[in-house]
Amino acid sequence: MVRAVAVVSALVGAHAEVAESTGNHWVVLVAGSKGYTNYRHQADVCHAYHLLRDQGIHANNIITMMYDDVAGSSQNPFRGSLYNHPGNNPKDVYKGCKIDYRGSAVTPSTFKKVMTGSGSGKVLKSTSNDHVFVNFVDHGGSGKIDFPNDSLHTNDLYNILNTMHKQNMYKKLTFYMEACYSGSMWTKSVPGVYAVTAANAKESSYAAYCGSQAVVKGKNIGSCLGDLFSINWMEDDDAKDVAKETLKQQYDLVKKKTASGSHVMQYGDKSYTSYKVSAFHGNTFKLAESNEQSDDPAESAVSVREVELKQATYNYYTATTSQERLSAGVDLQAVLKDQLAAEAAFESFLELLYPGDEVKKAAIRETEPMPVNRDCEVSTHQSFFAHGAFDAKSGFAAPFHNYVVNACGDLASTNVDLAEVAKQACIGSTVV
């Protein structure tokens, strides 16, 4: 009897291994931001590209979207290179990082075409036998994730994944999402889709290797090198044979290592979290190029909402010449000006909607948002982006999107054009 149970267990185990390894691996990697202050997003994605290539996934099966304006930036002390880890000899992750869509092609529309296999360029050609891994890295707000000049709403993401499910484009799909409020993107589930997010639905994610830790070959990069959640899962992959670690084990480890910053969460179909990480990240074990030991990245982790101001302040205080200090002072003033403009515009938005009603305005600020009014939320956010004298997609501006979501819900049954109100709040005039 004992032997029979053992035989059955062995067969079940063998069946599970077959289930994990059936078909091909397909990968979509997206960095949805631009600008040198977002160095970390593009470094994260290029690190992920090399990691997955080293673990056996063919380049033809990896699709990468990245604005690609950081490696060549005049602010980059190592022009043409990106680093995701500090030290004297870290891997240049930009070298050999194959980018399929860059610049103005990095849009929600392109992402949709890539994911659903409907574009004319390089797109997913996965089948019902294949495993798909998606890694999205950028800013986010309640019910949205950002692209350089646009946003993707939670309903849009659901529709994309649901279309993939209906078209039998995967056997299982795992999605790692690095963004503030990323938990708010997973209010609906799609069969066979498992998601891990850097943050819950109500908080910022955290940048890592910032400030004094952002030193490469003796030079400070002047921006954070990575994001805490992303660094933690990728450095875990780098250090071990992921054919011996399950998705659940990696989630538990990364959640623990990121806990000093944000709350790593899991959503969707958790029925296959006993699958090995290699079922999605590649099953060829190759120990990554050794990076020097550094301080725990959590020690320099900074809330994304605060990262631009803290980095600018750090750059100012660590400048070694008068010219450097003058330049850093200009940058610091620009960050402060941008943040003051953002706060003023969103507060003006509330005043225009609820003039003199402090109780109502407080409720809009403090109520946990429910992103269900897609068209209103997207058009109003785009209005702030188009007309604001500030970066509406910055980590600082992201929490103010709660105002938009709550106002769209509160005024859903009215004829108020919130996009127009947002425009008026930005340009400083009044709504007639």
* Catalytic choice (25, 47, 131, 139): 139
Residues 6+ positions from 347 with CB-CB distance below 8 Å: none
| Known catalytic residue at 180 | yes
Q: How many CA atoms lie within 13 A of 57 on its CB side?
A: 26
Distances (CA, A) of 11 to 18, 129, 172, 279, 428: 10, 21, 22, 19, 70
Of 161, 160, 162, 175, the closest CA to residue 30 belongs to 175
Q: In what order do the strands lie in the sheet with 206-208?
A: 226-227, 206-208, 302-303
Query: How big is the chain by its Cα radius of gyration, in Å?
Result: 22
Q: How many CA atoms lie within 13 A of 55 on its CB side?
A: 26
Tokens encoding 91: 């891997």
DSSP annotation of 362 reads H
DSSP per residue, 134-167:
EEEES-EETTEEEETTEEEEHHHHHHHHHHHHHT
Q: What is the largest CA-CA distance in the chain?
A: 83
* Catalytic choice (41, 50, 153, 180): 180
How many helices (H) does the chain have, and how many strands (E)? 13, 14
| Known catalytic residue at 139 | yes
Q: What are 220's strand-pairing partners? A: 215
In 10 A of CB 333, how many CB atoms? 12
**Active-site amino acid positions:** 139, 180
